[in-house]
Chains A and B, each alone.
Chain A
């Protein structure tokens, strides 16, 4: 239980580091701005697509699938490219930010160029590590499903929790020790094995703020989710001899959809911005706590950062 008490001291320390190093928020604010531009871009693309003659012809059935296929491929590739760009930018921001966290925890201040140094040193390791973990998940997926079903769905929630706890410290270890990827992964597992209980409590508190029911990153992905529903047009019955009426109805429906998108895009953009900014505050705070916890090792570290707080 004593080790858990240290969590509150880490919260105190992180709070004060936060107050004196507001520069920590800048990379994430820029990243949020990029995300918002992507959402607006998708919205504008959908709005423009709805106004295309080809889309209208597709709805009224005057368009063969073979003619529509290139558009579909183009749209799919565009979304895939956006996803890849998003993933790369997020890893760049993360790498730079982790170096800033390291400096703020170890030295109390952040040097100019810390972000760039972090990106240079850690971007590829972070990207490779995440890809490896993703591949491991794909390989492990059948066993995960079996374990989940055998445990009456409890395993579906608990297994990812436990794995994420063991993977908590790999990026922190990589940055703090300037070590290699596999050394960092091993260190993360050893750390979690040694400090499982206090680390679990810390991570549950962390995740309750970041993955909580309200707001959170999942809700921030509005831009990608709602577009799934935008292209659903009601199926209209075909009346022979009244095609012009059906065409008018389709045109009206498409116009309504365009108005809905024109309203939804700014609303979704604002909602995403607010949710992302709130999540950012929690994420920066808890990332600092995790760095402090790694360095301090819940009271077992030989090097303790003695930080006098100037009130």
Chain B
């Protein structure tokens, strides 16, 4: 029974993380970096508007002045985007490599984390850029459809329709980095394998993705606003890391059916 298998995988996942708590360290470091950067950008924006708020009218009235402000902002935005993608991909491949070794009974070490980055960074980075380019191309029609969907199904389902969208994306795309690390696949093949994985084991992955989203959101906010602001990143990160490890366990169990059939 698929539900029983998923629960056994969750149990195995819990056993693995309780014996190898080090697998969470990269995710916690990433959460700290994200939080620090968010604070930096937020404080920087506030200072900018305090110092130059009155000049904004002059800037927006003159196209030359507007360009001289807009171009640096776009450039800095692009650098920040690249930074977040690079750090995110490094943490992702290093972490998934640690999860894979932990599941195989090997204690995580710092060298294994960097080993994972050396082996799989370019593939996952390429796959991530590919997905982002696809999102960019489909952005305008996607946004129109999303707004229509939100205003109809979203409202009629009290927001559950929008959660369902997030879950469906997770079901079909959550496992592609796992496929890259476990089977050393190229990014395109890994994305297709992830989609096949989602189609074959839809309900199991649906339950896991739903649980991951619900629990990480609730746990981040359950202890009040102060804990949410300071610790929410870490709590959500650790919970999503656990569910990624469980997906890796399921993938390893089912991979022969996916890869060789």
A214 x B160 contact (CB < 8 A): yes
- Residue A271 is within 8 A (CB to CB) of chain B in the complex: yes
- Residue A224 is within 8 A (CB to CB) of chain B in the complex: no
Interface string of A229-258 (1 = CB under 8 A from B): 000000000000000000000000000000
- Residue B143 is within 8 A (CB to CB) of chain A in the complex: no
- Residue A227 is within 8 A (CB to CB) of chain B in the complex: no
B7 x A8 contact (CB < 8 A): yes
CB distance from B240 to the nearest CB of A (A): 13
Cα(A205)–Cα(B157), bound, Å: 22
CB distance from B214 to the nearest CB of A (A): 5
Set A15, A205, A272: member contacting B215, Cβ < 8 A: A205
Interface string of B211-247 (1 = CB under 8 A from A): 1001101110111111100000000000000000000
B7 x A271 contact (CB < 8 A): no
Q: Which of the 9-residue segments B11-19, B119-127, B178-186, B251-259 touches chain A?
A: B11-19
A12 x B222 contact (CB < 8 A): no
Cα(A170)–Cα(B252), bound, Å: 42
Cα(A278)–Cα(B158), bound, Å: 10
Given contacts A215-B158, A275-B160, are A309 and B227 in contact (CB under 8 A)? no
User: Which residues 1-48 of A have a CB within 8 angstroms of B?
Assistant: 1, 4-5, 8-9, 11-12, 15-16
Contacts of B211 in A (CB 8 A): 205, 209
A274 x B226 contact (CB < 8 A): no
- Residue A194 is within 8 A (CB to CB) of chain B in the complex: no
Given contacts A208-B215, A219-B159, are A213 and B221 in contact (CB under 8 A)? yes
Contacts of A208 in B (CB 8 A): 214-215, 217-219, 222
Cα(A275)–Cα(B158), bound, Å: 6
Set A4, A158, A211: member contacting B224, Cβ < 8 A: A158
Q: List 5 A-B contacts (CB under 8 A).
A: A12-B7, A154-B224, A208-B219, A212-B214, A272-B158
Residues of chain B whose beta carbon lies under 8 Å from any beta carbon of chain A:
1, 3-4, 7-8, 10-11, 14-15, 18, 155-160, 162-163, 211, 214-215, 217-219, 221-227
Residues of chain A whose beta carbon lies under 8 Å from any beta carbon of chain B:
1, 4-5, 8-9, 11-12, 15-16, 152-158, 161, 204-205, 207-209, 211-215, 219-220, 222, 267, 270-272, 274-275, 278, 309, 311
